[in-house]
Amino acid sequence: MPNQASSPTVTPNGTATNAPLNGTVTNGTAANETATNATINESMNQTVGQLPPPLDALGQGLFPGQTGFVVQVVVTALILLAVFAVRYYEHKWVRSMASDSVKRIAASGAVAVVTALGILLLVDVWGLAPALVNAFKDLEVNERAGRILISAILLGTAYILTNFIGRVIQVVAGSGDAISRHQREILFRLTQVFLYATVIFVIISLFTDNIGSLLVGAGFFGIIVGMAARQSLGAVLAGFVLMFSRPFEIGDWIVVGDKEGTVTDITIFNTRLQTFDGEYVILPNDEVSSDAIVNRTRKGRLRIEVEVGVDYDADPQHAADVALGAVEARDEVLDVPSPQVVMKEFASSSVLLGVRFWIDNPSARRMWRARTAAVAAIKEAFDEEGISIPFPQRSLSSRDDAGDVSLTDPERNGEATTDGGDE
């Protein structure tokens, strides 16, 4: 190939260089990129095995004669050990002062600060600051490494924030009865999902410029998943509704459809009951929310009604007063609201009375205990007052060939009475 002639070119500092005579110009941009990349690589290579001056002096004082890389590893281990020790002892300290909300929040904030300082020290120890600064330069490898490092820092920050916010929610909401334990858990999980979703979105934006198409694809994927798991999603949504509307809580005595029992657990997907027969029932939340819910312990008291019949020959008002006095004397019955006796109807063989009274802290055991005590007291009081409790009675008769009707007990005279005895 023939040699191309070149003419001297005078630079601003007075030096002469040869430039091609065919009109071509040396690509200055490529040369600058090469020089920049070489500088970045050199700076990154220098950070491996070399501590910052203060830490290097400290490391050489603690570990004389050791290489910079060994000192870096040892210092890294010490930093990690210090951070985990602070977190461990903070957890034990917080548990020992459960009643002091301010100190618990301050301790959580201190742990977050210590963890952040530990991350910054690790970045400084390993000399990653230049890599972070130069991560978005023209060299593709450094750019990718910087983005990965930034992603790791974002995830660590999200983890620290979720723990701190969870502690704040637990301390603030746990000081009163306005928010239940499950509501605190749901609030923490929602905050956690929001923070991590935001961080993941930011991380994805670091690696791609086409966020719009990615969101569209995620939307279609969400539609497909929603159609495939619509029943489960319905149970989840119903679980959120139940946890925030609070129609019942753990320990409540409820009736849902044909199921009755005590609530043992409430999750996002289902509600768990223990029946009075010892059965363990799991009800999907969508079925619970779509059916009528009867909570018998919500108000802290429950009204019980015992029905008793009184003979038509007896004075119903006197019988009502006797029944009222009998239940008022029982310890299981509340004085306020006071017991009541109402005359409900004319039954087939008696005047039906409804004895109504209240109990506190209702449960199935307390209800049956109070009902049993009331029935026994009313029966004993009626026996003392000579008030009979009638029951239905039938008279059997037969017809002879002549068409005459005779009773099965021909020796018995008189009509049958409602209480089964002779008049």
In a domain? residue 15: no
Answer yes or no: do 180 and 93 share one domain.
yes
Answer yes or no: do 305 and 283 share one domain.
no
pLDDT of residue 340: 94
Q: What tokens appear for 318 in the block? A: 């006197």
In a domain? residue 249: yes
In a domain? residue 392: no
Beta bridge mates, 259: 256
CB atoms within 10 A of CB 132: 15
Beta bridge mates, 253: 262
In a domain? residue 416: no
To the nearest 10°, report the CA torsion of 85, 89, 92, 95. -120
In a domain? residue 88: yes
* CA pair distance 242, 210, nearest whole angstrom: 39
Answer yes or no: do 72 and 165 share one domain.
yes
pLDDT tens digits for 168-189? Answer: 777 766 655 556 666 777 777 7
pLDDT of residue 401: 62
pLDDT tens digits for 109-159? Answer: 777 778 878 887 877 777 776 666 665 454 454 567 667 878 888 888 888
Query: First and final CA of the chain: distance in angstroms?
Result: 145
Answer yes or no: do 183 and 236 share one domain.
no
Q: Is 409 helix (H, G, I), strand (E, B) or coil?
A: coil
Answer yes or no: do 277 and 318 share one domain.
no
User: Domain ends where: 370, 385, 400?
Assistant: 385
Answer yes or no: do 166 and 270 share one domain.
no
pLDDT of residue 3: 47
pLDDT of residue 15: 44
The 3-state secondary structure of 305-337, one letter per residue:
EEEEEECCCCCHHHHHHHHHHHHHCCCCCCCCC
Instruction: Give the CATH number for residue 258.
Output: 2.30.30.60
Q: How many domains is the chain partitioned into structurally?
A: 3
Answer yes or no: do 156 and 266 share one domain.
no
Cα 420 to chain centroid, rounded: 62
Answer yes or no: do 83 and 166 share one domain.
yes
Whether the Cβ atoms of residue 407 and residue 397 lie closer than 8 Å to each other? yes
Answer yes or no: do 129 and 271 share one domain.
no
Answer yes or no: do 255 and 374 share one domain.
no
**By C-alpha distance, which of 375, 364, 317 is closest to 342?**
317
Within 13 Å, how many C-alpha atoms sit on residue 281's CB side? 21
User: Of all helices (H) and strands (E), which one includes residue 269?
Assistant: none
Phi, psi (degrees; rounded to nearest 5) at 78 = -65, -40
Whether the Cβ atoms of residue 93 and residue 85 lie closer than 8 Å to each other? no
Averaged pLDDT, groups of 10, the chain, 423 residues long: 46 45 45 51 48 59 60 81 81 62 68 79 74 55 68 84 78 62 74 85 78 73 71 76 81 90 86 90 88 89 93 92 93 91 90 94 91 94 90 69 55 48 45
Answer yes or no: do 160 and 279 share one domain.
no
Within 8 A by CB and 6+ apart from 296, the residues are: 252, 253, 254, 255, 302, 362
Within 13 Å, how many C-alpha atoms sit on residue 49's CB side? 4
* CA pair distance 162, 121, nearest whole angstrom: 22
In a domain? residue 24: no
pLDDT of residue 307: 93
Identity of the amino acid at 347: A
User: Domain ends where: 170, 191, 207?
Assistant: 207
**Ramachandran assignment for 300, one of left (phi > 0), alpha (psi -120 to 50 degrees), beta (any other):** left
* CA pair distance 219, 233, nearest whole angstrom: 16
pLDDT of residue 85: 85
Rounded-to-5 percentages of helix, strand, coil across the chain:
55, 15, 30
In a domain? residue 275: yes
**Which residue, chain included where needed, has tokens 């849902």?**
256
Answer yes or no: do 71 and 200 share one domain.
yes
Q: For the chain, how many helices (H) and strands (E)?
A: 12, 12
In a domain? residue 305: yes
Within 13 Å, how many C-alpha atoms sit on residue 71's CB side? 23
User: Domain ends where: 174, 207, 240?
Assistant: 207
Identity of the amino acid at 135: A
The pTM is what? 0.51
Domain with 336, as residue range(s), is 301-385
pLDDT of residue 416: 46
Whether the Cβ atoms of residue 125 and residue 79 lie closer than 8 Å to each other? yes
Torsion sign, CA atoms 261, 264, 267, 269: negative
Instruction: Give the CATH number for residue 325.
Output: 3.30.70.100
